[in-house]
């Protein structure tokens, strides 16, 4: 593309996952000419395998007090939700120290407040973009259910009730019988649950992003499939994205390429505080059980979500190099664990999947403008909240690009908080 043909309203968005496409669509709606660049086809990365649970509950940092107490058991369990590869321990040590540091009262309050400011605005923001892209049929808002078999685990989770209430998030305690009344497929030994009536579901996360993409293209956006190689600034102050196929000039650039974004920002002096947290899912096309909403299995730390193609079991955390070969046993493990909660579950026809979550130590995504670089912005590190917070992130980024006040205080989201 000829840089001279671009105008002052041209924005290049690097990244075609759900966050990048949400930003691109929001910018287009606000009158910008949008160019999207990615080395993969749209929605071919981590976003495609999202659990589909638009959660109102997940306002906590990765290292919660409950998780720290259970960490030895989780790491030693063969079927545990958490794995750290020995070769990745060197990368994990500084990340873990930062993650544990968030448990200090002042930091914990800051993090939960920041996450809640996104989470509580997420549903309306996604609904707005979905309506524009004619994807509203992929979204429902029938709540989310977290269930437990173990009383200690159930009581530990109840300690969060006051914090949810403080941030305006509705959470209802249920008995085992009440939980089964909502979801009859649940096992008889479920002792209780927590119901989140404001939570929602996306029945096909990949298709949601593709709806965004098709609307973008039909409305005049450009997509370039090419590998990002850097950003340069001309003598006139104009920014250029350098990629494997050439250069793209723009007045504004947004780096929203998930896990790869931290490396893109190293040239500007930021400490790379991101780790590769790989998640797995198992798609069951004929599960033989019916759920009406996402159900999170409390002790096993993963979710079952009804999808258009069947039932998706999604979760676990595997910390290792992003390019390590997938261990699909981690995906098949989910079926063995899920059947303890859904005894009627069948897994005759399954498809495993793995994706790389971009995870920051405090669980708060990085959203802001690169310091000392006018016109250059970033949005990444959403961890487990990528789909949930994609559209409200886009709202914030569009405001920054347009030099307006974002809908929330983005101070806590600046990547410079890590140095």
- When mean pLDDT is compared across 40-49, 78-87, 99-108, the lowest value belongs to 78-87
pLDDT at residue 316 in the model:
87
Q: What is the DSSP string of 291-352?
A: -SS-EEETTTTEEEEEETTEEEEEEEEEES-TTSPP-THHHHHHHHHHTTT-TT---SSEEE
3-46+206-271+363-418, CATH topology level = FAD/NAD(P)-binding domain (3.50.50)
Q: What's the CA angle centered on 321, arms 320 and 322, to 5 degrees?
A: 110
- Residue ranges with strand state E in 55-207: 82-84, 139-140, 144-148, 172-175, 192-196, 200-202
Mean pLDDT, residues 227-248 = 90
Looking at 55-69, 219-233, 235-249, 277-291, which range is the least confident one? 55-69
Please report the sign of the dihedral spanned by the C-alpha atoms of residue 401, residue 260, residue 15, residue 359: negative
Backbone CA torsion sign across 191, 197, 202, 203: positive
Handedness of CA 270, 271, 274, 276 (dihedral sign): positive
The DSSP call for residue 43 is: T
Classified as helix, coil or strand, 376 is: strand
What is residue 78's predicted lDDT score, i.e. its pLDDT?
Answer: 66
Same fold yes or no, 3-46+206-271+363-418 and 58-103+137-200+273-359: no
For the chain, the domains span 3-46+206-271+363-418, 58-103+137-200+273-359
Report the pLDDT value the prediction gives residue 71, as an integer from 0 to 100: 64
Between CA 385 and CA 119 the distance in angstroms is 9
Q: What is the pLDDT of residue 270?
A: 94
pLDDT band at 64 (very low <50, low <70, confident <90, very high): confident
Q: How many CB atoms lie within 10 A of CB 322?
A: 17
pLDDT score of 63: 82
> What's the chain's average pLDDT?
93
Confidence (pLDDT) at 41: 97
Given pLDDT bands bounded at 50, 70 and 90, which one contains residue 3? Answer: very low
Q: Is the pLDDT of residue 5 over 60?
A: no
User: Who's near 258: CB < 8 A, 6+ residues apart?
Assistant: 15, 17, 19, 45, 46, 47, 356, 358, 380, 386
| Both tokens assigned to 75 | 């790491």
Q: Are the CB atoms for 164 and 57 separated by under 8 Å?
A: yes
Q: For residue range 255-279, list pLDDT tens digits in order.
A: 999 999 999 999 999 999 999 999 9
pLDDT greater at residue 2 or residue 319 = 319
The class of domain 58-103+137-200+273-359 in CATH terms is alpha beta
pLDDT at 175 over 90: yes
pLDDT digits (tens, 9 = 90+) for 353-382: 999 999 999 999 999 999 999 999 999 999
Percent of the chain with pLDDT over 90: 86
The string of pLDDT tens digits covering residues 109-148 is 999 999 999 999 999 999 999 999 999 999 999 999 999 9
pLDDT at 244 over 70: yes
- How far is 67 from 82, CA to CA, in rounded Å? 10
Mean pLDDT of 161-187: 98
Q: What is the pLDDT of residue 234?
A: 81
- Predicted structure pTM score: 0.95
Query: pLDDT tens-digit profile of 299-317?
Result: 998 999 999 999 999 988 9
* Confidence tier at 223 by pLDDT (50, 70, 90): very high
The better pLDDT of the pair 73, 88 is held by 88
Summarize pLDDT for 200-218 with one digit per residue, the tens: 999 999 999 999 999 999 9
- Ranking 233-247, 281-295, 403-417 by mean pLDDT, the lowest is 233-247
Confidence of residue 80 (pLDDT cuts 50, 70, 90): confident
pLDDT at 69 over 90: no
Task: List, edge to edge, every strand of the sheet that includes 139-140.
Answer: 53-54, 200-202, 139-140
Pairing label, strands 192-196, 310-319: unpaired
Distance CA 13, CA 399 (A): 15
């Amino acid at each position: 593309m000829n840089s001279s043909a671009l105008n002052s309203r041209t924005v290049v968005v690097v990244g075609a996952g759900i966050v990048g496409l949400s930003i691109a669509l929001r910018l287009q709606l606000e009158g910008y000419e949008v160019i999207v660049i990615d080395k993969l086809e749209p929605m071919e990365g981590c976003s495609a395998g999202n659990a589909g649970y638009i959660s109102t509950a997940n306002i906590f940092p990765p290292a919660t007090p409950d998780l720290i107490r259970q960490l030895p058991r989780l790491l030693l369990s063969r079927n545990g939700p958490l794995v750290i590869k020995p070769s990745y321990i060197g990368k994990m040590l500084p990340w873990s120290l930062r993650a544990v540091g968030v448990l200090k009262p002042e930091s914990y309050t800051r993090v939960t407040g920041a996450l809640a400011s996104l989470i509580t605005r997420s549903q309306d923001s996604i609904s707005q973009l979905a309506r524009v892209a004619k994807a509203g049929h992929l979204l429902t808002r029938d709540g989310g259910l977290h269930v437990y078999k173990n009383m200690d685990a159930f009581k530990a989770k109840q300690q969060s009730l006051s914090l949810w209430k403080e941030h305006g998030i509705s959470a209802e305690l249920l008995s085992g019988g009440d939980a089964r009344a909502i979801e009859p497929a649940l096992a008889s030994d479920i002792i209780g649950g927590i119901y989140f009536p404001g939570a929602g579901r996306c029945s096909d996360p990949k298709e949601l992003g593709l709806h965004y993409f098709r609307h973008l293209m039909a409305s005049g956006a450009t997509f370039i499939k090419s590998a990002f190689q850097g950003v340069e600034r001309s003598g006139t102050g104009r920014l250029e994205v350098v990629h494997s196929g050439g250069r793209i000039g723009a007045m504004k650039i947004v780096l929203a390429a998930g896990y790869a974004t931290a490396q893109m920002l190293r040239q500007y002096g930021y400490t790379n505080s991101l780790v590769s947290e790989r998640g797995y899912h198992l798609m069951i096309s004929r599960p033989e059980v019916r759920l009406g909403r996402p159900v999170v299995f409390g002790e096993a730390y993963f979710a079952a979500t009804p999808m258009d193609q069947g039932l998706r079991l999604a979760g676990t955390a595997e910390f290792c190099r992003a390019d390590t070969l997938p261990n699909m046993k981690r995906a098949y493990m989910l079926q063995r664990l899920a059947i303890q909660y859904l005894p009627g579950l069948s897994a005759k026809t399954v498809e495993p999947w793995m994706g790389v979550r971009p995870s920051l130590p405090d669980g708060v995504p990085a959203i802001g403008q690169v310091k000392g670089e006018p016109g250059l912005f970033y949005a990444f590190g959403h961890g487990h909240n990528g789909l949930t917070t994609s559209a409200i992130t886009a709202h914030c980024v569009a405001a920054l690009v347009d030099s307006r006040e974002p809908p929330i205080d983005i101070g806590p989201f600046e990547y410079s908080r890590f140095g």
